[in-house]
Chains A and B, each alone.
Chain A
């Protein structure tokens, strides 16, 4: 049943990514539309970045997208590695390692997201 839960959440994460990464693409690569890009110019111009960093909704969806993408990606990696036929002991250790790596990366990304919020406010 554990694998059913892993897989079901893998699919749910995929749907979340589909929506949020789609939005992310529109925001980052179609700046002309002006979605969360108040200043003219590139989406990566500091003014736009600072605006998004302070924006509650964007900051929140970034964290959700980060969690979903990490879970989806690392579960996919786990599936591929498991299908290569490693030993049982390796499989158990690998699952734990992926959880740790995933949580650390989530910590890094989420911290950056929250820290950028205060940077955006200062400037």
Chain B
């Protein structure tokens, strides 16, 4: 009988949540996705910005390509990912270094947990990320430079 157990791991869909999950669950998967996106951008960025060592002609040619409106929007999306990842990252650093989860306490129903301790921080971080993204969008599309 032992071999006939049915394997029931959720797999990648388990990362995405989708049941009656909390907000932090979705921040976790967003943090992961934005992290991968930024890493992908960063690897390109190393090579693109290395064009400066070949002198002004090559540099200006490289910059001309980046003026493409599609890439301009892409750049803004990277900024959105960066702003979220940075602000959520500050929250996660404070939590994971044990500074924002509170001390162990006697559980009394209805249970309060470390989630309640970090919730104000989460709200502040997300509001700041929203402001930063709005400011970045304004700067990218409405300012001339």
Contact = CB atoms under 8 A, between A and B. Distances in A.
- A/B: CB atoms within 8 Å of each other: yes
B39 to A, nearest CB: 4
B130 interface: no
Interface residues of B, number: 33
SS class of chain A's interface: helix, strand, loop or mixed? Answer: helix
A105 interface: yes
A50 to B, nearest CB: 8
Interface in B43-66: 43, 46-47, 49-50, 52-56, 59-60, 63, 66
Interface string B82-115: 1000100110010011000000000000000000
A42, A111, A112 interface centre (most CB from chain B within 10 Å): A112
Nearest to A32: B145
Contact of A53 (B52, B89, B96, B145): B52
SS class of chain B's interface: helix, strand, loop or mixed? Answer: helix
B53 A119 contact: yes
Given A41-B145, A108-B50, A123-B55, A73 B38 contact: yes
B26 interface: no
Given A29-B140, A112-B52, A76 B39 contact: yes
B93 A11 contact: yes
B25 interface: no
B55 A66 contact: no
Contacts of A53: 52
Interface string A31-47: 11000000001111010
Given A31-B145, A109-B50, A119-B52, A21 B36 contact: no
Interface in A12-63: 14-15, 18, 21-22, 25, 29-32, 41-44, 46, 49-50, 53
B49, B93, B139 interface centre (most CB from chain A within 10 Å): B49
Interface residues of A, number: 37
A5 to B, nearest CB: 15
A31 B89 CA distance: 26
Interface of B: 12, 32, 35-36, 38-39, 42-43, 46-47, 49-50, 52-56, 59-60, 63, 66, 82, 86, 89-90, 93, 96-97, 136, 139-140, 143, 145
Q: Report the 9 A-B pairs with minimum CB-CB distance, sorted nearest first.
A: A112-B50, A115-B53, A73-B39, A46-B56, A116-B53, A116-B52, A109-B46, A112-B53, A76-B35
